Structure 1
């Protein structure tokens, strides 16, 4: 088993704010990827096509891997001090940290 941790952060994106939300995410990603313990991150966008699944509640989902919870927490604290980016109005993230328990 991997000892790294995974951040999964689904975002509720307001109508008409998708591109602005992606740019907001990119500015945070650019900072975090310079921090010790960062491994990778990918931003996923829901498919806009109609399917039997219906419309996705979360238009964007960020999945990031970090060496440890301490490394992630330290990086986020530094980011909050360093970045002075204006939030996207109505953008709501619901982040949580996970560990792999089965592969």
Structure 2
């Protein structure tokens, strides 16, 4: 079963999902740590999850990244039209039940973010 851990314990992912929706696109950055020898299994399960999410209203795109070499880290970057769209897709009973398919010891660190403008470097 997938364990959700929070990068910012003072504002866990479930609290982020309940935040106000400003109508702007939202990006989910979800970093997984796969158990030893099970990265391929986690990728296959993630593929099924991503296909489900892809069919949900408000889904824009997703990309999975994998650590180089024998690294067990996988990072999903998914863009949604709004926080409400992400919340509605994530909170379905069907998606929640899918999380139990991950192998024991798999950990995810999800965070919902907006683009941040930094003058001279990037736009918001």
Where on the TM-score scale, by shorter chain, does this alignment land: which range? 0.7 to 0.9
TM-score for both structures, normalised by structure 2: 0.69
1:60 counterpart = 2:74: yes
Please state how far the C-alpha of 1:80 moved relative to its aligned partner.
1.9
Aligned residues of 1:12 and 1:93 also touching (Cα < 8 A) = yes
Q: Which is bigger in relative contact order (C-alpha 8 A, separation at least 6)?
A: 1
> Which residue is 2:65 aligned to?
44
TM-score, normalised to structure 1's length? 0.82
Which deviations, in whole Å up to 9, do the C-alpha atoms of 1:23-67 show, x marking residues without a partner?
Answer: 110110010000000000000001117xxxxxx6x6100000000
Structure 1 stretches (4+) deviating beyond 6 angstroms?
Answer: none
- In structure 1, runs of 5+ residues without a counterpart are 50-55
Deviation of 1:95 after TM superposition, in Å, equals: 0.1
Distance 1:76 1:23 in 2: 19
In the alignment, which residue of structure 1 is the partner of 2:46? Answer: 25
**Aligned length, in residue pairs:** 93
SS at 1:44 equivalent: strand
Whether the 8 Å CA contact 1:24–1:88 is kept in 2: the answer is no
Q: 1:70 aligns with which of 84, 87, 102?
A: 84
Structure 2 stretches lacking a partner, 5+ long: 1-23, 118-122
Within 2, Cα distance between the matches of 1:75 and 1:32? 7
